[in-house]
Structure 1
Amino acid sequence: MSAYPVPDASGFIKLDAMENPFDLPAPLKAQLAQRLTDVLLNRYPVPSYRAVKEALSAKLGVPEGCPVMLGNGSDELIHLVLQACAKPGAVALAPLPGFVMYEMSARLNGVRFVGVPLAANFSLNLPAMLMAIAEHKPAVIFIAYPNNPTGNLWSDSDIEQIVRAAPGLVVIDEAYHPFAQQSWMNRLAQFDKVLVMRTLSKLGLAGIRLGYMAGSARWIEQFEKVRPPYNVNVLTEAAALFMLEHLEVLDAQAAQLRSERTRLFDALRQMKGVTPHPSAANFILTRVPDAAGWMAGLKARGILIKNVSGMHPLLSGCLRLTVGTPQENDRLIAALTELAKA
């Protein structure tokens, strides 16, 4: 293993980490700053986090009767789910290519990880998934919805078959919900074994590191037992509460990114040798003739993206392009057009 790599983005247009590229309006930043000055930094957070949980539930569509658990980003929630389920012989299962933290957290918690390759078009290989579930009897199945790094949403009927076949928990990771606008959150009451996990990071608050997970009370109660006390700090809690009062600002930014995603996708389709894959996230997986060469060419032009071609054989030749501001996307399109013509 190696430590999680984060390249230095100083001086670059940063299109490598699926962040919301928009800053907050200046008046809103001033109000937020005032709110944060009232936070008592000498005191621990209120351990129940009741206020922010109620705000998340009310504003972001968590069904009544489904409690919420908070994490220091969804990464911590993934870790805690696996930690709680890590008895000898436990298995975690997920489609591949997928979010790297499922496998990494499983390994670090002593849980055996089973990856099931996607179909060539990046759809779920449902027969292979069902066979793997029957063979390995996983304690936890992770379903990214939409998937990272491919960007697509799985078939709803496929997911339901996986849920019904699962002997243990199914965690549906909706990190990119602001861009997909489809969710399993409203189906939690139908499926006791399903948990829905989200984060505020992609919505525009990556810097405060707040993830949340909802599901059956009897499951959330168990995961709360392994959650570290005070795992969400008071500044994160205050910032989240404030921004949930102004959710319309973040929703408008997400809408603009969805529009820019369409514009970027259409531009990529016109480039020689370039194959973008339809995305329901805030990035576009794009196959190019020379992933390493094109990444170097973009970096030379001041643009940082992610080369995912080495992550899995299905991703050969692929770059992951985060959707940026209109001006950033103009720069990206111009740079890629030059590379395609070279």
Structure 2
Amino acid sequence: MHAYAIQESRGLVKLDAMENPHRLSPDLRRQLGERLAEVALNRYPGARIDELRAALARHAKMPEGFSLMLGNGSDELISLVAMACDVPGASILAPLPGFVMYAMSAQLQGLKFIGVDLTPDFELDERAMLAAIEQHQPSVVYLAYPNNPTANLWDDAVIEKIVQAAPGLVVIDEAYQPFASRSYIDRVAKHEHVLLMRTMSKFGLAGVRIGYMMGPAALVAEIDKVRPPYNISVLNCEAALFALEHESVFAAQAQEIREERSRIQRELSRMPGVKAWPSDANMILVRVPDAARAFDGMKARGVLVKNVSRMHPLLANCLRLTVGTADENTQMLAALQASL
């Protein structure tokens, strides 16, 4: 194995990690600082955690009869699901290419991981997915909605067939929901074995590390048994509550990112030799003639993106571009054009 690597980004336009590029206004930063200064750092997290859970439930319009648990980012929740489902013969299944933590959580927990390749256009391979479910009877099926790094939403009818066929849990990962054209939240209540996972990282708080997972109360209660006590710090909790009180600010940021995403896609469509896939996230997957050359050229011109070309054969010569501010995106497009 290799540890999760973070690229060095000092002095570069950082467009490699799907972060919201916008900071709070100076006035809101001052207000937040005053709030955090009053937090009792000498006490373990208490009732404010429950207030955050309630605030997130309202924000997400959580269905009646559901419960919500918090994680130190979605990464911890993914690990907890693997831990909770660690019984003899357990396995985890997910489409590939996809988020690396699905496979890593299985490996770290000693579970079998089954990866099912997407089609060449990064759609779910319905026949292959259903065959793999029938053969392996996985304990957990992960479906990212939209997917990372391909940034697309999959066909809802195929997703429903997979959900119906799954013998264990299905986890719908909506990490990029603020930028997506639709959500699974309206359908999740139809199933007793489906969990919906989201994060505040793409909301605009990547540094705060708040992930949350919703599902039928009895099911969430079982997974909550393996959650470490006090896994959310009082500072992170207070920052998240503050952000939810100002969610209109973050909604405006998400709208700007969606508009910039459209502009980037228009510009990419004019670049000879570049293929860009449709995106429902704050990233765009592109294929270029030579990913290594383009990546190095962009970095030399001060722009850092993600070279995903070696993650999976389907991603040959692909780069993942995070949508930044208008100025950052202009720099990124110029650097890409010059590096082709």
TM over 0.5: yes
Aligned to 2:14: 14
3-state secondary structure, aligned to 1:272: coil
TM-score (norm. length: structure 1): 0.98
Structure 1 residue 50, shift from structure 2 partner: 1.1
Which shows bigger deviation, 44-53 or 18-27?
44-53
Structure 1 residue 48, shift from structure 2 partner: 8.0
1:142 corresponds to 2:107: no
Aligned to 2:176: 176
3-state secondary structure, aligned to 1:185: coil
* Aligned equivalents of 1:8, 1:297: Cα separation in 2: 16
Of all paired residues, the percent bearing the same amino acid is 57
Deviation digits for residues 277-323 of structure 1 (CA, Å, limit 9, x no counterpart) = 11100000000011001000000001100000000000000000000
* Aligned equivalents of 1:122, 1:45: Cα separation in 2: 42
* Aligned equivalents of 1:119, 1:260: Cα separation in 2: 28
Aligned to 2:54: 54
* Aligned equivalents of 1:46, 1:111: Cα separation in 2: 34
Summarize the alignment of residues 1-342 of structure 1 with structure 2, pairs less than 5 Å apart: 1-46=1-46, 49-340=49-340
One-letter code of the match for 1:90? A
- The Cα RMSD (Å) is 0.9
Deviation digits for residues 31-57 of structure 1 (CA, Å, limit 9, x no counterpart) = 111111110000000178210011001
Contact 2:91–2:113 under 8 Å retained in 1: yes
Contact 2:48–2:237 under 8 Å retained in 1: no
* Aligned equivalents of 2:290, 2:70: Cα separation in 1: 41
Which shows bigger deviation, 246-255 or 176-185?
176-185
Unmatched tracts of structure 2, length 5 or more: none
CA change 1:49–1:21 in 2 (3 A) is same
* Aligned equivalents of 1:230, 1:338: Cα separation in 2: 49
Structure 1 residue 7, shift from structure 2 partner: 1.2
Contact 2:293–2:339 under 8 Å retained in 1: no
Deviation digits for residues 78-126 of structure 1 (CA, Å, limit 9, x no counterpart) = 0000111011211100000000000001100011000000011100000
Deviation digits for residues 190-212 of structure 1 (CA, Å, limit 9, x no counterpart) = 11110000000011100000000
Which runs of at least 4 in structure 1 moved beyond 2 Å after TM superposition?
A: none
Contact 1:309–1:317 under 8 Å retained in 2: yes
Which shows bigger deviation, 180-189 or 190-199?
180-189
Which shows bigger deviation, 55-64 or 301-310?
55-64
* Aligned equivalents of 1:69, 1:187: Cα separation in 2: 19
* Aligned equivalents of 2:47, 2:158: Cα separation in 1: 38
One-letter code of the match for 1:28? L
* Aligned equivalents of 2:337, 2:85: Cα separation in 1: 48
One-letter code of the match for 1:273? G
Structure 1 residue 4, shift from structure 2 partner: 0.4
Contact 1:145–1:154 under 8 Å retained in 2: yes
3-state secondary structure, aligned to 2:66: coil
Deviation digits for residues 44-80 of structure 1 (CA, Å, limit 9, x no counterpart) = 0017821001100112221222110000000000000
One-letter code of the match for 1:32? L
* Aligned equivalents of 1:339, 1:3: Cα separation in 2: 30
Contact 1:61–1:186 under 8 Å retained in 2: no
Contact 1:145–1:172 under 8 Å retained in 2: yes
Contact 1:62–1:186 under 8 Å retained in 2: no
